[in-house]
Chain A
């Protein structure tokens, strides 16, 4: 099986995937989407980034890119979310 590296960019900050993983080519897309969505959840809830990109490389060559971003419009139009109890 080919080796893929899933590098992550959070508002441009690179988190390199040094190890990489051997994974079937047809499974790369769902792995990248799941990784992106799950990291984006952490980042968006914490307000630490507004965009998460998963940049998948196959033998160093670009293979697939998943980009997930958040935009909030409203009274508190900052994407920094504070947990507020529903009753307030």
Chain B
């Protein structure tokens, strides 16, 4: 059993909502009253080990999962067992927010690292969004940005050569980590293994290994266990073909 402990806390007293509030403030104009309302949501905090499913394809969850610490991925597996990692998720994100309105989950949500997760019941989320239309709009905007990231992901996997694809993925992850204050200098957390990088890029682990080496040999990125260092920012941005517009990180735009 991956459930080590659980307690119910209001989001108000806990660090658990901080990254969420930081994120939502970056993408939307949030009022103090809305922040108070979000912080008053009851949350059940659970500790997960790495590589544990949180919700699975076909499940009917009754709660949404807010990542407080750690990394998760959403993925889908074909009938012959090939897994595509669809997206990576970081603290402050609610990767299965869609389950509030789409009742049967159409993909898996899995921890990559050890995680601290906050579960918010659909009942309390629904009550909040009905009472506070502004919060509903902010969450709607959040799922629209999620969809924008998926569009960029399709372009990435469909049109960019594998080294550019990986470079783009890394720049996006870094830009998202910046919002929650998790980038120190040129280094940032990146927990995916070679195999998982392959699954995210749609290539085999051996091809992923080749690209990782190529990016290092060309002085673009250095991969360590659990993190990445940018060697040459200019080269990285050129290779990544990155335009941050789709992340919609400015509420005024």
Contact = CB atoms under 8 A, between A and B. Distances in A.
Interface of A: 6, 8, 15, 17, 19, 21, 31, 34-35, 38-39, 42, 45-46, 54
A15 B209 contact: yes
Interface in B172-218: 194-195, 203-207, 209-210, 213
Most buried by A among B161, B206, B210: B206
24 contacts: A6-B206, A8-B206, A8-B210, A15-B209, A15-B210, A15-B213, A19-B194, A19-B209, A21-B195, A21-B205, A31-B204, A31-B206, A34-B204, A35-B204, A35-B206, A35-B207, A38-B162, A38-B203, A38-B207, A42-B161, A42-B162, A42-B163, A45-B161, A46-B161
Interface string B158-172: 000111000000000
A35 B202 CA distance: 11
A50 B114 CA distance: 44
Nearest to B213: A15
Given A19-B194, A34-B204, A39 B161 contact: no
B207 A39 contact: yes
Given A6-B206, A38-B162, A45-B161, 6 more contacts: A35-B206, A35-B207, A38-B207, A42-B162, A42-B163, A54-B206
Q: Is the interface of B mostly helix, strand, loop or mixed?
A: helix
Given A42-B161, A42-B162, A17 B209 contact: yes
B205 A39 contact: no
Nearest to A10: B210
Nearest to B81: A27
A35 B205 CA distance: 8
Given A19-B194, A45-B161, A46-B161, A38 B213 contact: no
Contacts of A6: 204, 206
Contacts of B206: 6, 8, 17, 31, 35, 39, 54
A86 B181 CA distance: 45
Contacts of A34: 204
Contacts of A46: 161
B219 to A, nearest CB: 17
A38 B205 CA distance: 11
Nearest to B209: A17
Contacts of A8: 206, 210
Contacts of B209: 15, 17, 19
B206 to A, nearest CB: 4
Interface string B130-168: 000000000000000000000000000000011100000
Contacts of A21: 195, 205
B165 to A, nearest CB: 10
A54 B204 CA distance: 12
Interface string B230-245: 0000000000000000
Contacts of A15: 209-210, 213
A1 B213 CA distance: 27
